[in-house]
Amino acid sequence: MLAPAAARHRRALGGPWAAAVPLLAFFAIGFGLPALAIVTGAFTLSSDAESGAGSFTTANLTDSVQGAYWTALLSSVKLSALTALVGTAIGLPLAQAVVTSRFRLVREAVLTASGVLANFGGLPLAFAFVATLGNAGEVTKLFHLTDHGWSLYSFTGLAVAYLYFLVPLMVLTITPALDGLRRQWREAAANNRATTVQYWRHVALPILLPSLLGGFVLLFGSAFAAYATASAMVGATVPLISRQIADALSGNVLVGQGNLALALSLDMIVVAVLVMAVYLPLQRRSARWLS
């Protein structure tokens, strides 16, 4: 077994690894250096500090989980968790309706639209929602929503806007898993006199659970990383960690706190890593389930 593989290696001039060198080199410089800058910067006293510049400190990190910064981090996590949860809860029945639809056209249309809308984040989304539900928005004017206490520039408003790309993302993510549910399972359940609720509770949901959790985590990550929508739509009314980092970077920071942005970034990465650590094994497991 070993000999042919070795021979192939020798034939391929330096082995396949040679072709990956540019990518790995780019990654090491483009990704490795910024990562290094974040970690070292987060633990270093800023160079513009009066004394002891460049020395090791945990002050940045301590500051980054206190006061307004801690509030922003919590608020980001809360917003992402809530929107991901609602997105999952809406996306699943929607995807199920699409998958079981008799009309091929409905399926194609919804999936194409989901592909477009899942990529429709950022600024355009913010402007579209301002035009729809903002203070001078068409729907707001039509139904006098402001009189009923509606405001787009709030936590709720932001959550409603985020769902506009999170729900389609969930539909795209969960559709393959729903396609993998065999019809025979449902028939078998029905033959054993299971009700629809029992079928979902004991058969479908346990099988879908890894995919659902994986989708939830993907949604969480997208909402957590979002910056443009929030900054164009709500400005500073809803505190978010991504906006705090941007503010800290674009200048108005106190002297000696230049590395605070890097410490905040490290916080953000830690949250994202924790979330990803849940996602990746689950994705593998669901792939095994539904192959």
Partner 1 sequence: MAQLINRLRLWRGAVLFVAGLYFLVPMAASVWFSIDSPGGIDFAAYTGLLGAPGFTDALVLTLELAAVTVVVLLALLVPALIAARLGTARMRAVLEVVCTLPLVVPPVALTAGLIGVLRWGPDHLMDTPFFQTIVFIQRPEFPLVLVIAYVLMSLPLAYRALDSGLRAIDVRTLVEAARNCGASWPRAVVTVVLPNLRSALLNASFLTLALVLGEFTAASILGYQPFAVWVYSVGNSQGQMSVAVSVLSLLITWVLLLLLAAAGRERRPAPATS
Scanning residues 39 to 78, which ones bind partner 1 (CB under 8 A)? 41, 47
10 Å Cβ neighbour count for 54?
A: 11
Binding mask 84-103 for partner 1 (x = CB under 8 A): ------x--xx--xx-xx--
Binding of partner 1 at residue 34 (CB under 8 A)? yes
**What is the rounded CA–CA span in Å between residue 170 and residue 25?**
34
Radius of gyration of the chain (CA): 24
Q: How far is the CB of 101 from partner 1 (least distance, A)?
A: 6
Binding of partner 1 at residue 23 (CB under 8 A)? yes
Q: Which of 122, 155, 253, 290 binds partner 1 (CB under 8 A)?
A: 122
44 Cβ contact list (under 8 Å, min separation 6): 54, 55, 56, 57, 60, 259
Binding of partner 1 at residue 121 (CB under 8 A)? yes
Contact of 239 with 71, CB cutoff 8 Å: yes
Q: Which of 228, 253, 278, 287 binds partner 1 (CB under 8 A)?
A: 228
Q: Which of 232, 253, 287, 290 binds partner 1 (CB under 8 A)?
A: 232
Q: Which two tokens stand for residue 104?
A: 């091929």
Burial (CB < 10 A; 0-12, 13-18, 19+), residue 151, is middle
Residues comprising the chain, all counted: 291
Which stretch in 64-72, 108-116, 174-182, 203-211 sits in contact with partner 1 by CB under 8 A?
108-116
Binding of partner 1 at residue 254 (CB under 8 A)? no
DSSP label at residue 58: S
10: amino acid identity, one letter = R
Q: Which two tokens stand for residue 33?
A: 């250096």
Q: Which of 45, 166, 261, 282 binds partner 1 (CB under 8 A)?
A: 261
Binding of partner 1 at residue 82 (CB under 8 A)? no
Contact of 143 with 247, CB cutoff 8 Å: no
Binding of partner 1 at residue 17 (CB under 8 A)? yes
Binding of partner 1 at residue 194 (CB under 8 A)? no
Q: In the chain, what is the greatest distance between 2 CA atoms, to the nearest angstrom?
A: 79
Q: Which of 138, 187, 202, 236 binds partner 1 (CB under 8 A)?
A: 138
Binding of partner 1 at residue 119 (CB under 8 A)? yes
Q: Which of 277, 231, 243, 261 is nearest to 123 (CA)?
A: 231
Q: How far is the CB of 128 from partner 1 (least distance, A)?
A: 4
Binding of partner 1 at residue 15 (CB under 8 A)? yes
Binding of partner 1 at residue 130 (CB under 8 A)? yes
Binding of partner 1 at residue 4 (CB under 8 A)? no
62 Cβ contact list (under 8 Å, min separation 6): none
Q: Which of 51, 184, 192, 250 binds partner 1 (CB under 8 A)?
A: 250
Binding of partner 1 at residue 198 (CB under 8 A)? no
